């Protein structure tokens, strides 16, 4: 099983809270970048042995919907030529309302995308403005409608919470609006203010107040309660899906399966030995120079030893409702899960759901996941 992540580090403007690597670029720069991605994909063919077609492809960013249909089609064709794409592959693209016209979504569907992740973030026009998003509430609603009429039956909507001035009442109204769109998948993100962003600067100057720990917890609980009541499975800390519509690409990441990546700033995971993590530095000039010289732009971040791989397996699996399969763990590491982590399993006996088939954290405890998981690390 292999997945491919393609990173598009371009945005129309910078959102005021964002600390991801992204930059603005004109049409020529975007075209040049796509040519580099094609080179990178072709180079991977020689460097990485995969014996199966791609099961998932994910275009993330940044704002991938700034690429033209021709550019996206070229990238999909290259994936197909270099690796092969499984007939039932999940092919996702992140799109931001306000960056495309209606026919664009029809064309995305026609060239093979079957899942859209729409960066709604909020249905409140005032919040969108405060966040520095480049779209309006109306454009968000219009993008969902347009996606449905284009034939997409697998939509993921992003919603932010713990926003400046937000309380549980207005979050509740946001949830109403989101549920009216009947998405198959929902990702939620609590705002964290990062140094180096405009929000960071405003906070330092005392001009921005965000949710405290208690408000954050109340809002997270509200989201859990509302989405689960509406029939969504809370299958990962920040993700909800109707049955059968979990994000296969992200599951691959949480299950530590091959996830290749191209693009400046992207990360990949390769199942060599106990696993390797690679990173492509967020430096467009270096990216270009390396590829033009025929060199792989990725740098190895970590080659896991057995202990590291066991810890990371637990760290990632306990984020999900599937948790750990004890038999698979023992087959992989030659030691039972309980033997490998006797102190942690005893300390967390009250919050771990344990059966011969599964060890998982009850999702009601995910709010303090960081605290709980530290017991294993
Ligand atoms: S669209 Fe996304 S990646 Fe781009 S600036 Fe906004 S939050 Fe950051």
Tens of pLDDT, residue by residue over 112-131, are: 999 999 999 999 999 999 99
Tell me which of 214, 230, 252 is where a domain ends. 252
Domain-located, residue 289:
no
Report the sign of the C-alpha dihedral through residues 181, 183, 188, 191, in that order: negative
Give the pLDDT of residue 49: 61
101 and 244, same domain (yes or no): yes
When pLDDT is averaged across residues 204-219 and rounded to a whole number, the result is: 94
What does the alpha-carbon distance between residue 22 and residue 66 come to, in Å, rounded to a whole number?
A: 12
Q: Is residue 283 part of a domain?
A: no
Nearest CA to 185 out of 92, 252, 67 is that of 92
Pocket probe for ligand 1: among 14, 93, 199, the residue whose CB has the most ligand atoms within 8 Å is 14
SS3 per residue for 182-237:
CCCEEEEEECCCCCCCHHHHHHHCCCCCCCCHHHHHHHHHHHHHHHHHCCCEEEEC
* Per-residue confidence band for 47, with pLDDT thresholds at 50, 70 and 90: low
pLDDT digits (tens, 9 = 90+) for 277-311: 999 999 999 999 999 999 999 999 999 999 999 99
Answer yes or no: is 296 within a domain: no
- Nearest CA residue ID for atom 8, ligand 1: 18
Give me the mean pLDDT over the 257-270 stretch: 96
In a domain, 279, yes or no: no
CA of 339 to the centre of ligand 1 (A): 43
Tokens of 206: 């005392």
Whether 128 and 8 map to the same domain: the answer is: yes
- Is the pLDDT assigned to residue 152 strictly greater than 80? yes
Q: Residue 48: its pLDDT value, please?
A: 65
Q: What is the mean pLDDT of residues 82-108?
A: 95
Overall average pLDDT of the 237-263 stretch: 97
The answer to whether residues 225 and 358 belong to one domain is no
Q: Give nearest CA residue, ligand 1 atom 3.
A: 62
Do 89 and 233 sit in the same domain of this protein?
yes
Rounded distance from Cα 306 to ligand 1 centre (Å)? 36
Sheet holding 259-262, edge to edge: 233-236, 239-241, 185-190, 155-161, 115-121, 85-95, 54-61, 2-8, 259-262, 267-270, 276-279, 299-303
242-266: average pLDDT = 96
What average pLDDT does the segment 188-210 reach? Answer: 94
Atom of ligand 1 nearest to the CA of 96: 1
Where a domain ends, among 225, 252, 279?
252
What distance lies between CA 219 and its chain's CA centroid? 21
How many whole angstroms from 9 Cα to the centroid of ligand 1? 9
Q: How far is the CA of 22 from the centre of ligand 1 (A)?
A: 7
Atom of ligand 1 nearest to the CA of 61: 3
Mutate to test the pocket of ligand 1, among 10, 62, 198, 282 (most ligand atoms within 8 A of CB): 62
Q: Are residues 247 and 377 in the same domain?
A: no
Q: Domain check: are 375 and 242 in the same one? A: no
Q: What's the whole-model pTM score?
A: 0.96
Has residue 338 been placed in a domain? yes
Domain finish residue from 203, 231, 252: 252
pLDDT of residue 52: 81
Q: Who lines ligand 1 at CB under 6 A?
A: 11, 14-15, 18, 20, 22, 61-63, 96
In a domain, 186, yes or no: yes
Question: What CATH number does residue 61 fall under?
Answer: 3.20.20.70
Q: How does pLDDT run across 139-149, given as a tens digit for each residue? A: 999 999 999 99
Number of independent structural domains in the chain: 2
Inter-CA distances, 54 with 64, 72, 91, 107, 187, Å: 19, 16, 10, 22, 24
Range of the domain at 176: 2-252
CA-closest candidate to residue 191, choices 235, 228, 159, 214: 159
């Amino acid at each position: 099983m292999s997945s491919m992540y393609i990173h598009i580090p371009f945005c129309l403007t910078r959102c005021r809270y964002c600390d991801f690597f992204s930059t603005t670029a004109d049409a020529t720069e975007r075209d040049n970048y796509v040519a580099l991605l094609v080179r990178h994909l072709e180079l991977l063919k020689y460097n990485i042995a995969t014996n199966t077609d791609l099961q998932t492809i994910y275009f993330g960013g940044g704002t991938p919907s700034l690429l033209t249909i021709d550019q996206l089609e070229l990238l999909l064709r290259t994936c197909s030529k270099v690796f092969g794409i499984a007939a039932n592959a999940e092919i996702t693209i992140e799109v931001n309302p306000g960056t495309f016209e209606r026919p664009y979504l029809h064309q995305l569907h026609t060239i093979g995308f079957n899942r859209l992740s729409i960066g709604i973030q909020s249905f409140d026009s005032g919040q969108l403005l405060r966040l520095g998003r480049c779209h309006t509430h109306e454009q968000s609603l219009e993008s969902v409608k347009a996606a449905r009429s284009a034939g997409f039956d697998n939509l993921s909507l992003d919603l932010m919470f713990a926003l400046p001035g937000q309380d549980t009442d207005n979050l509740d109204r946001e949830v109403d609006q989101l549920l009216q769109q009947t998405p198959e998948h929902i990702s939620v993100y609590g705002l964290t203010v990062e140094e180096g962003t405009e929000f960071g600067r405003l906070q330092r100057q005392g001009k921005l107040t965000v949710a405290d720990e208690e408000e954050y917890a109340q809002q997270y609980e509200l989201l859990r309660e509302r989405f689960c009541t509406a029939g969504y499975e809370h299958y990962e800390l920040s993700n909800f899906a109707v049955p059968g519509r979990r994000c296969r690409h992200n599951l691959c990441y949480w299950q530590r399966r091959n996830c290749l990546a191209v693009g400046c700033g992207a990360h990949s995971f390769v199942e060599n030995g106990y696993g390797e993590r690679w990173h492509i530095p967020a430096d467009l000039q270096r990216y270009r120079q390396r590829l033009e010289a025929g060199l792989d732009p990725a740098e190895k971040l970590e080659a896991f030893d057995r202990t590291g791989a066991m810890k990371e397996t637990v760290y990632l699996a306990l984020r999900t409702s599937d948790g750990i399969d004890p038999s698979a763990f023992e087959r992989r590491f030659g030691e039972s899960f309980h033997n490998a982590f006797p102190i942690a399993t005893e300390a967390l006996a009250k919050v771990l759901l344990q059966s011969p088939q599964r060890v998982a954290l009850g999702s009601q405890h995910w709010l303090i996941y960081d605290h709980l998981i530290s017991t294993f690390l």
